[in-house]
């Protein structure tokens, strides 16, 4: 099971060159993560040279995206640059970035639910076994994984013997 999870991880997250740039943009626009976190994460996911190249590509893309959302100059000149209220929310302080975040973060990341991608709940637990302790459930998951692997290895051995 761990191997299957690793394969799925590598398929979608293994190579940063194959990842959608909007995933990185959403990280930058997310108030919990920002650009520094993304730099750290990319340096851990790949070589420092590759991470640097991706960060440069991302910064260039962010500047282009900001230019797309930025209002024309004449519409901002009529607005007062001094805030009238002390407690302004970030969307009023940074309207262009808030529009970008609203559009980018509203995109559905995946059409496959996380539970269906990495879950074994339906295979291990049913209505009779749902009150098991976590240790027993872990043992069931491991045993089931071993049984699946051993049966697939037997199938391979049978095919090899037939050849």
Query: Does residue 94 sit in the same domain as residue 151?
Result: no
For residues 60 and 79, state if they share a domain: yes
Residue 117 has pLDDT above 80, yes or no: no
Instruction: Tell me how many domains the chain contains.
Output: 2
Q: Give the Cβ contact number of residue 126 at 10 Å.
A: 9
Q: What pTM did the predictor assign?
A: 0.47
Give the model confidence (pLDDT) of 33-81 as tens digits: 888 888 888 888 888 888 899 899 989 988 888 888 777 765 544 444 4
| Each residue's pLDDT tens digit, 3-45 | 888 888 777 777 777 787 888 888 888 778 888 888 888 888 8
Burial of 132 (0-12, 13-18, 19+ CB in 10 A): middle
Residues 39 and 99 in one domain: yes
Per-residue pLDDT tens over the stretch 136-155: 777 877 787 777 776 655 66
Give the end of a domain, one of 67, 91, 109. Answer: 109
Q: Which domain holds residue 98?
A: 14-109
């Amino acid at each position: 099971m761990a191997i299957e999870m690793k394969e799925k991880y590598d398929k979608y997250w293994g190579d940063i060159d194959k990842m959608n740039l909007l995933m990185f943009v959403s990280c930058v626009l997310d108030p919990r993560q920002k650009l520094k976190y993304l730099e750290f994460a990319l340096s851990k996911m790949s070589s420092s040279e590759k991470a640097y190249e991706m960060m440069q590509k991302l910064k260039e893309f962010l500047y282009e995206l900001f230019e797309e959302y930025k209002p024309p100059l004449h519409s901002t000149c009529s607005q007062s640059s001094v805030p009238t209220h002390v407690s302004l929310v970030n969307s009023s302080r940074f309207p262009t970035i808030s529009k970008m975040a609203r559009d980018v973060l509203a995109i559905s990341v995946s059409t496959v639910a996380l539970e269906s991608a990495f879950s074994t709940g339906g295979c291990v637990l049913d209505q009779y076994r749902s009150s098991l302790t976590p240790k027993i459930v872990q043992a069931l998951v491991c045993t089931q994984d071993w049984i699946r692997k051993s049966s697939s290895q037997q199938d391979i051995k049978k095919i090899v013997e037939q050849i």
